[in-house]
Amino acid sequence: MLDRPVEASAAFDLPKPYLLFLGDAADTTFLKTGLGLRDWAPALCIAEHKCAGAVATLGLPVMAPREAHAAGARALVLSAASIGGAIREAWIPYLVEAIEEGLDIVSGAHDRLGDNPLLDQAAKACGRRLIDVRTPPPGLPIATGRRRSGKRLLTVGTDCALGKKYTALAIAEALRARGLDTDFRATGQTGIMIAGRGIPIDAVVSDFVAGAAEMLSPDADPAHWDVIEGQGSLFHPSYAGVSLGLLHGSQPDVLVLCHAHGRDRIVGLTGYPLPSIGRAIEVTLQQAQLTNPEARCAGVSLNTAGLTAAEAARAISGLERDWGVPVADPIRGGDAFERLVDACLA
């Protein structure tokens, strides 16, 4: 295998394990980071902690910072997301308490922890670290469009928040189970916390997004797979720019389109209908083939959360029949998922 550059993705020295802070979330809709860590890095999750009166839960043991520190936790992770990636003022006393009880703070928010004077003062007084994961590495290049060796798979979506990260993690795990040399390449804060490295693509200056994607997945052995976590959607009026830069820089050989069963509108922007599966594949391939003319779509990852097993099976078979591509819910696994993995490798 080729020696891969150490700068292929930024490594984060994250103190582990974690106490997951759920903030004041009313339900799990805004707990994507917490859900991702719970599901894909359970050994790192000691317990959960939240604001007084908050009702959302991840089903983990509930511990205050002092108790969690005694149980082995070394960092409190902001596991809730707010609109715009802000650190809510209501959270600050809870974060200060965690610092005073011996925990570092790890955040994937757009706001910088150290910009809050109370957090900055507490961290300096207690000798604790404030770690902003949503920080791109320095010196990101402009994309060259040069074709790179190795194989690449990118998850893309009809919308945001429908399973691109989970799909990439599940496929990477499945490829490794088949004996293939595979890396999961994280492009978002939660993926970075799971993998310990990556580049937060949505925090990169727009001119450098494609270049960051190139750096994230450099030349590799021809048999090596990089499974790259997708971001946003080409069909989202707010985030299409990030998605397009990541698509061009990743130069994927294989795309897996992610879709949520029953969703027909962009979440939060109901004036924008989702494209059909066929249209989504067509447009995404058209854009992908700018930098990789041989790019192809292996199939669809269908998020069937909320359906019974029988309902999910019907939804999957119906979509396969309608569009003529392999369809599976990677979280449910089974034969359908194995067929989707087969299609990725075909």
pLDDT, tens only, 30-66: 899 999 999 999 999 999 999 999 999 999 999 999 9
On the question of pLDDT at 11 being above 90, the answer is no
CB 144 within 8 A of CB 152: no
pTM comes to 0.93
Query: Residue 120, CB half-sphere, CA atoms under 13 Å: how many?
Result: 6
| Helices (H), ranges, 238-276 | 240-250
**What is the rounded distance in angstroms from the CA atom of residue 330 to the CA atom of residue 346?**
18
Task: Provide the token pair at 229.
Answer: 């976590």
**What is the rounded distance in angstroms from the CA atom of residue 78 to the CA atom of residue 62?**
15
Task: Provide the token pair at 190.
Answer: 């939660």
Phi, psi dihedrals of residue 140, rounded to the nearest 5°: -65, 140
Same fold, 6-132 and 151-345: yes
**What is the rounded distance in angstroms from the CA atom of residue 127 to the CA atom of residue 300?**
48
End-to-end CA distance of the chain: 22
Domain boundaries, the chain: 6-132, 151-345
Can you state the angle between helices 164-177 and 32-40, rounded to 10 degrees? 10
Task: Provide the token pair at 41.
Answer: 């890095």
**What is the rounded distance in angstroms from the CA atom of residue 14 to the CA atom of residue 180?**
28
- Residue that the structure tokens 């976590």 belong to: 229
Domain 6-132 CATH class label: alpha beta
pLDDT average, residue stretch 271-275: 97
pLDDT average, residue stretch 96-117: 97
Query: Measured between alpha carbons, how far is residue 112 from residues 57, 76, 101, 133, 287 in Å?
Result: 25, 15, 21, 10, 34
What per-residue confidence (pLDDT) applies to 29? Answer: 81
**What is the rounded distance in angstroms from the CA atom of residue 270 to the CA atom of residue 266?**
6
Can you state the angle between helices 117-126 and 92-100, rounded to 10 degrees? 10
Find out whether the peptide bond into 17 is cis, omega within 30 degrees of 0: yes
What percentage of the chain reaches a pLDDT higher than 90? 92
CB 221 within 8 A of CB 149: yes
On the question of pLDDT at 9 being above 70, the answer is no
151-345: what fold? Answer: Rossmann fold (3.40.50)
Task: Provide the token pair at 128.
Answer: 């604790």
- Residue that the structure tokens 């971001």 belong to: 231
**What is the chain's mean pLDDT, rounded?**
95
pLDDT, tens only, 313-338: 999 999 999 999 999 999 999 999 99
